[in-house]
């Protein structure tokens, strides 16, 4: 019997380990926690995974409850002891109750608890989780509400003791509720025991830190006001950086506005200050939740969306400028451990750069270890919004564009000649349009280069044009193959259409009058519709054939992909669509002419049904059409800045004078 149980437990433990490895960031409930197998649960001295940390002597604020052992809060462990009798109860009562709690099946759970009242507080897994832990972590509001009524039926003292029970890692059921993000359950528990927010869980983490770590932004925002008065310095820093990493910018802004020293705090992971982390956010989004109104009034770039991310960057940067001791210290902050300006440029974080450079425009002169500016970095990573700052800096651009890399002597034009990162090329559909985009970048950068730099060679004795040809040889081949394949298919369709509509033109629907030799329905409006639509279909299909033929016989040189070939493809697709539409109109009108005198609803139905191929063509080819049109528009408007990076910050007095005038 014991051998069988040990075998089953070993197999289940392996499954749990595998699940943990695949979901390292998850907080979950389990029966067989590997950490819990290493100790005998019946041993009273068994330690728990609760970090003991004494508050700093200099901190006078009240601290959250820290416990050296969970013995006084651990649940009864009677049913997880290693004995034959308890194992029988464990598998016949604890395991089913665990399942009912996972499912939220209160009726079955209630019957089991009524038969054995100890189950409402006892540990029902080897991780010491109680039924309240399981239900609170799986978002079953009704289950938790009814269970709390049972726990508190003998008074508040017994109820508080039961609700504060901790699992082997030191987590209360409230920690599980906070991590799951269910405010309804958390509020239920807080109304019973308001001290739950001050009881730390595993690794000494507070419930609000559990919520923030799991990305439960609304929960973190609601727990923060109840918890902040009990924080020590480490708690403030941990929660602040957790909010930034999980993009809870709203709570992060609220915290730093209340405790400005967080702007200078260093992340424990060696990532620098908060600005370094924010610079690396590839696609900054608005905060995942909204806390109460901030106590500070923050002005950001008026051309940008007034989101919390930019407000946070603005507040952090202005705090550093205001409180920093010297310019040297400020530069050291933005350069170490990484150069945050170049981190932001690499991921295209336009708003971040706008806030920093607008407050301190001299940052535009910053260069990295390879003597390259943020404009060079923007060109390398193909971020046009950042590159367009050259239109705002006047003569400064004439100096910056002359910077060349110390390692390989590449100029700004050489960087434009290199292949774009795959992530940027993927924004454009079709190799031909990708090639067009690359040529557009090269030509745009060439416009701002001094004439002497256009023919300049790099460390490998290559001019920028030679480097462009070398770097884009494979893309040019792919673009040629893509263009030919597309043109061949489209020309085949156009040929079939032209053949069909030509045959329809010489086979007049309704026949000819034997005496006058005129079409019988010449005076009817459906015949006129047929004649016009058939002619349009024939002309447009023939035009499409000519256009696609010109694409097939093209030279496919590099600069053919700049404007010539993409335009031909667009015009060819437009004429092809017109020919398909006209052909179906001609078919519908001819069918109407032939069968109108029989059952009248039939020709009307068939004529309307003839629209199906047109709609199907639009539906199936819409992605290609939209990609082609957007690609053409994207390349055309890429270097026309829609918003300025550098803006002027007016004081309230200046705004009042300006508005008064």
How confident is the model over 573-582, as pLDDT tens digits? 999 999 999 9
Whole-number pLDDT of residue 262: 95
How confident is the model over 482-514, as pLDDT tens digits? 999 999 999 999 999 999 998 887 777 665 655
Residue 257 belongs to some domain of the structure: no
Whole-number pLDDT of residue 515: 62
Angle at 621 between CA 618 and CA 626, to 5 degrees: 95
How confident is the model over 150-170, as pLDDT tens digits? 999 988 998 999 999 999 999
Residue 650 belongs to some domain of the structure: no
622 vs 308 pLDDT, higher one = 308
459 and 487: one domain? Answer: no
- On the 0-12 / 13-18 / 19+ scale of CB atoms within 10 A, 599 is exposed
Ranges 42-56, 240-254, 364-378: which has the least confidence: 42-56
Unique residue bearing structure tokens 């910050």: 649
Q: Which residues on neighbouring strands pair with residue 65, listed in sequence order? A: 199
When pLDDT is cut at 50, 70 and 90, the band that residue 382 belongs to is very high
Domain CATH code at residue 309: 1.25.40.20
Phi, psi angles (nearest 5°) of residue 153: -70, -20
Which structural domain, as residue segments, surrounds residue 512?
483-637
For residues 185 and 627, what is the distance between their CA atoms, to the nearest angstrom? 47
642 vs 464 pLDDT, higher one = 464
For residues 17 and 10, what is the distance between their CA atoms, to the nearest angstrom? 11
447 and 375: one domain? Answer: yes
Half-sphere exposure of residue 396: CA atoms within 13 angstroms, side-chain side? 15
Contacts of 320 (CB under 8 A, 6+ apart): 263, 264, 275, 330, 333
Phi, psi angles (nearest 5°) of residue 166: -115, 150
79 and 113: one domain? Answer: yes
Whole-number pLDDT of residue 18: 45
Nearest in space to 639 (alpha carbons), one of 447, 469, 427, 358: 447
Nearest in space to 76 (alpha carbons), one of 32, 24, 121: 121
Which pair of structure tokens corresponds to residue 10?
A: 């070993």
Of 68-77, 195-204, 519-528, the range with the highest mean pLDDT is 195-204
Sign of the C-alpha dihedral, residues 182, 185, 188, 194? negative
Ranges 141-150, 187-196, 526-535: which has the least confidence: 526-535
Tell how far CA 116 is from the center of its chain: 49
Phi, psi angles (nearest 5°) of residue 128: 70, 15
Number of other residues whose CB lies within 10 A of the CB of residue 531: 18
Please, are residues 134 and 177 in contact by the beta-carbon 8 Å criterion?
A: no
Specify the 3-state DSSP secondary structure of 251. Answer: helix
355 vs 50 pLDDT, higher one = 355
Ranges 17-26, 67-76, 195-204: which has the least confidence: 17-26
319 and 362: one domain? Answer: yes
Specify the 3-state DSSP secondary structure of 172. Answer: strand
Cis peptide before 366 (omega within 30 of 0): no
| Position 553 pLDDT exceeds 70 | yes
Unique residue bearing structure tokens 């023919």: 455
| Position 306 pLDDT exceeds 80 | no
Backbone region of residue 111 per phi and psi (left: phi > 0; alpha: psi in -120 to 50; beta: other values): alpha
Number of other residues whose CB lies within 10 A of the CB of residue 41: 20
| Position 444 pLDDT exceeds 60 | yes
187 and 215: one domain? Answer: yes
Nearest in space to 355 (alpha carbons), one of 344, 370, 346, 366: 344
Contacts of 660 (CB under 8 A, 6+ apart): none
Question: What's the whole-number mean pLDDT along residues 588-596?
Answer: 76
283 and 429: one domain? Answer: yes
Residue 53 belongs to some domain of the structure: yes
464 and 490: one domain? Answer: no
How confident is the model over 88-138, as pLDDT tens digits? 889 999 999 999 999 999 999 999 999 999 999 999 999 999 999 999 999
Residue 657 belongs to some domain of the structure: no
| Position 60 pLDDT exceeds 90 | no
Mean pLDDT (the chain) is 81
Whole-number pLDDT of residue 238: 94
Question: What's the whole-number mean pLDDT along residues 619-633?
Answer: 73
| Position 420 pLDDT exceeds 60 | yes
Q: Which residues on neighbouring strands pair with residue 457, listed in sequence order? A: 463
Sign of the C-alpha dihedral, residues 535, 540, 541, 545? positive
How confident is the model over 125-158, as pLDDT tens digits? 999 999 999 999 999 999 999 999 999 998 899 8
166 DSSP 8-state letter = B
Contacts of 439 (CB under 8 A, 6+ apart): 558, 559, 561, 562
521 and 554: one domain? Answer: yes
434 vs 64 pLDDT, higher one = 434
81 vs 514 pLDDT, higher one = 81
**Which 3-state string (H, E, C) describes 248-260?**
CHHHHHHHHHHCH
Nearest in space to 643 (alpha carbons), one of 302, 281, 279: 302
For residues 397 and 384, what is the distance between their CA atoms, to the nearest angstrom? 15
Residue 388 belongs to some domain of the structure: yes
66 and 161: one domain? Answer: yes
Residue 115 belongs to some domain of the structure: yes
Please, are residues 207 and 201 in contact by the beta-carbon 8 Å criterion?
A: yes
Q: What angle, 0 to 180 degrees and rounded to 10, lies between the N-to-C axes of helices 611-637 and 431-448?
A: 20
Residue 648 belongs to some domain of the structure: no
Number of domains composing the chain: 3
Residue 646 belongs to some domain of the structure: no
Whole-number pLDDT of residue 234: 93
- Given 197, 231, 265, which residue is the final one in a domain? 231
When pLDDT is cut at 50, 70 and 90, the band that residue 291 belongs to is low
How confident is the model over 330-369, as pLDDT tens digits? 888 888 888 999 999 999 999 999 999 988 888 999 999 8
- Given 422, 455, 473, which residue is the final one in a domain? 473
| Position 299 pLDDT exceeds 70 | no
| Position 43 pLDDT exceeds 80 | no
Whole-number pLDDT of residue 528: 84
Please, are residues 349 and 282 in contact by the beta-carbon 8 Å criterion?
A: yes
When pLDDT is cut at 50, 70 and 90, the band that residue 428 belongs to is confident
Percent of the chain with pLDDT over 70: 78
Whole-number pLDDT of residue 56: 36
Ranges 161-165, 257-261, 588-592, 625-629: which has the least confidence: 625-629
Whole-number pLDDT of residue 57: 36
When pLDDT is cut at 50, 70 and 90, the band that residue 629 belongs to is confident
- Given 202, 231, 260, which residue is the final one in a domain? 231
177 and 80: one domain? Answer: yes
For residues 340 and 356, what is the distance between their CA atoms, to the nearest angstrom? 10
For residues 572 and 578, what is the distance between their CA atoms, to the nearest angstrom? 10
Number of other residues whose CB lies within 10 A of the CB of residue 646: 15
Whole-number pLDDT of residue 1: 42
When pLDDT is cut at 50, 70 and 90, the band that residue 284 belongs to is low
For residues 606 and 585, what is the distance between their CA atoms, to the nearest angstrom? 11
Whole-number pLDDT of residue 601: 72
Ranges 262-271, 296-305, 457-466, 599-608: which has the least confidence: 296-305
Tell how far CA 376 is from the center of its chain: 26
Which pair of structure tokens corresponds to residue 602?
A: 């039939």
For residues 366 and 378, what is the distance between their CA atoms, to the nearest angstrom? 13
447 and 494: one domain? Answer: no
Phi, psi angles (nearest 5°) of residue 570: -65, -45
497 and 466: one domain? Answer: no
């Amino acid at each position: 019997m014991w051998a069988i149980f040990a075998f089953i437990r070993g197999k289940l433990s392996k499954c749990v380990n595998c699940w943990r490895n695949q979901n390292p960031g998850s907080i979950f409930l389990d029966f067989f926690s590997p950490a819990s197998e290493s100790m005998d649960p019946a041993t009273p001295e068994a330690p728990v995974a609760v970090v003991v940390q004494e508050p700093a002597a200099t901190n006078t604020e009240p601290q959250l409850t820290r416990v050296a052992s969970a013995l006084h809060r651990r649940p009864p462990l009677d049913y997880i002891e290693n004995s034959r009798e308890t194992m029988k109860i464990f598998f016949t009562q604890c395991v089913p109750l665990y399942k009912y709690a996972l499912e939220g099946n209160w009726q079955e759970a209630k019957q089991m608890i009524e038969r054995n009242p100890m189950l409402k507080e006892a540990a029902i897994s080897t991780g010491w989780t109680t039924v309240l832990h399981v239900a609170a972590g799986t978002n079953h509001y009704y289950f938790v509400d009814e269970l709390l009524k049972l726990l508190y039926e003998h008074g508040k003292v017994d109820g508080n003791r039961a609700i504060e029970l901790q699992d082997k890692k030191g987590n209360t059921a409230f920690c599980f509720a906070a991590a799951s993000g269910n405010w309804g359950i958390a509020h239920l528990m807080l109304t019973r025991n308001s001290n739950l927010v001050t009881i730390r869980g595993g690794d000494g983490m507070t419930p609000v830190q559990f919520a923030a770590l799991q990305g439960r932004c609304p929960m973190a925002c609601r727990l923060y006001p109840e918890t902040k008065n009990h924080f020590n310095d480490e708690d403030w820093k941990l929660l602040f950086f957790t909010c930034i990493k999980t993009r809870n910018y709203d709570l992060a802004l609220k915290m730093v506005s209340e405790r400005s020293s967080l702007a200078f705090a260093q992340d424990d992971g060696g990532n620098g200050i908060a600005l370094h982390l924010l610079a690396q956010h590839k696609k900054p989004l608005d905060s995942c939740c909204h806390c109460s109104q901030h106590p500070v009034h923050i002005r950001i770039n008026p051309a940008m969306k007034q989101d919390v991310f930019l407000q946070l960057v603005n507040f952090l940067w202005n705090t550093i400028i205001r409180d920093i001791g010297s310019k040297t210290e400020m530069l050291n902050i933005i350069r170490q451990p990484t150069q945050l300006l170049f981190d932001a440029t690499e991921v295209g974080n336009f708003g971040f750069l706008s806030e920093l450079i607008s407050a301190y425009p001299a940052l535009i002169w910053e260069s990295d270890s390879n003597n390259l500016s943020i404009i060079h970095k923007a060109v390398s990573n193909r971020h046009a919004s950042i590159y367009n700052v050259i239109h705002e800096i006047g003569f400064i651009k004439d100096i910056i564009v002359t910077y060349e890399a110390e390692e390989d002597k590449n100029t700004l034009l050489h960087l434009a000649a290199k292949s774009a990162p795959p992530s940027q090329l993927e924004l454009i559909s079709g190799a031909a349009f990708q090639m067009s985009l690359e040529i557009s970048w090269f030509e745009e950068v060439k416009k701002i280069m001094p004439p002497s730099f256009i023919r300049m060679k790099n460390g490998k004795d290559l001019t920028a044009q030679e480097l462009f040809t070398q770097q884009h040889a494979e893309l040019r081949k792919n673009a040629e193959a893509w263009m030919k394949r597309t043109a061949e298919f489209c020309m085949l369709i156009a040929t079939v259409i032209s053949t069909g509509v030509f045959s329809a033109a010489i086979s007049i629907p309704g026949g000819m009058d034997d005496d006058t030799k005129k079409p019988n329905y010449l005076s009817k409006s459906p015949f006129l519709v047929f004649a016009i639509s058939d002619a349009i279909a024939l002309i447009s299909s023939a035009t499409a054939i000519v256009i696609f033929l010109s694409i097939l016989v093209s030279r496919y040189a590099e600069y053919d992909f700049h404007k010539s070939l993409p335009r031909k493809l667009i015009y060819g697709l437009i004429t092809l669509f017109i020919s398909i539409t006209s052909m179906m109109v001609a078919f519908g009108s001819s069918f109407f002419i032939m069968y109108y005198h029989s059952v009248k609803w039939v020709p009307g139905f068939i004529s309307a049904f003839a629209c199906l191929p047109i709609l199907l063509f639009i539906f199936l080819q819409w992605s290609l059409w939209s990609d082609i049109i957007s690609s053409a528009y994207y390349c055309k408007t890429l270097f026309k800045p829609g918003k300025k990076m550098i803006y002027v910050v007016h004081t309230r007095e200046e705004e009042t004078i300006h508005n008064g005038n």
